[in-house]
Amino acid sequence: MPEDKEGRIVDARMKLRQRFQQRMQKTPSAADARPQGSGPANRHGMPKLPVGQTVTRGWPVLDLGRMPDVPLSKWELVVDGAVEEPVRLAWKDFIALPQTKDVSDFHCVTTWSKLDVPWEGVQLSTVLALARPLPEATHVTTHGYDGYTTNLPLEEALKDDVLLVHTAEGQPLPVEHGGPVRVITPQLYAWKGAKWVRRIEVLTHDRLGFWELRGYSNTAHPWRDDRYS
Ligand SMILES: Nc1nc2c(c(=O)[nH]1)N[C@H]1C(S)=C(S)[C@@H](COP(=O)(O)O)O[C@H]1N2
Ligand SMILES: [Mo]
């Protein structure tokens, strides 16, 4: 990608994050004196695991049992709703966006945690910045190709470690884990990250997703044992 284009995208992301900075500071992980984010960077001096979690070496598969098989030639990602400019990205557009690598933890509400997962992908804040959320935008719903939905307030969605990942542990993300592209939300329980992501819908109000409608916590903070509502 040409440097000036990348520069413009990064600028747009910084501006968008600035709008939500105060609210981001108030979320548990960022506001605590010792940040309880996810991944090795935030684990210094902290217990390794949120209460009630145990480490898994494997990687269990949890979903609704409808595994969509989307070839890259048909894959697209839409960002729409309360935005100035709806965006539709084909695979080649997505992969040309600024890429990020991060190592973070994956906490499932069913009590297993997978630690230190190396991920590669695009920050959710980048694709949101491309679409320019309206001033009144407050939340997003992410939709999977399987019909799954989950919701996030923008102050969570814009965190640096919230990624649209296409690579895990150096390999293309396996389809059973949401490939070609899924969302990860390392500071929240894993159901907040849609596998097989197809659409990021920007909203001016909160709207509960699949599990949030069925009794899972809307806020979903692992470090507060915040599992069910
Ligand atoms: N599209 C989609 N995304 C989803 C789900 C789903 O059923 N469909 N399940 C969620 C739940 S409940 C969990 S715990 C994680 C599991 O991810 P994994 O199967 O890669 O471990 O994905 C989340 N994202
Ligand atoms: Mo889950």
Give average pLDDT by consecutive 10-residue segment, the chain, 229 residues.
88 96 85 71 75 93 95 97 98 98 95 96 98 98 98 96 97 98 96 98 98 97 91
pLDDT for residue 34: 66
| Residue 213: predicted pLDDT | 98
* Residues in contact with ligand 1 (CB, 6 Å cut-off): 59-64, 108, 144, 146, 148, 177-178, 190-191, 193-196, 211
- What is the CA angle 12-121-202, rounded to 5? 50
Q: Which atom of ligand 1 is nearest to the CA of 145?
A: 1
Residues with CB under 5 A from ligand 2 (ion): 62, 191
108, 191, 216, 217: which to mutate for ligand 1, most atoms within 8 A of CB? 191
pLDDT on residue 87: 98
Whole-number Å distance, alpha carbon 10 to ligand 2 midpoint, is: 32
Rounded to the nearest angstrom, the distance between the alpha carbon of 63 and the centre of ligand 1 is 5
Domains of the chain: 3-224 (3.90.420.10)
Tokens matching residue 171: 């390999």
- Closest atom of ligand 1 to CA, residue 147: 1
Read off the tokens for 5: 């284009």
- For residue 176 the two structure tokens come to 């059973």
Predicted pLDDT of residue 25: 86
In this structure, is the dihedral angle defined by the CA atoms of residues 39, 45, 48 and 49, taken in order, positive or negative?
A: negative
pTM reported for the whole predicted model: 0.96
Q: Which pair of structure tokens corresponds to residue 114? A: 């997978």
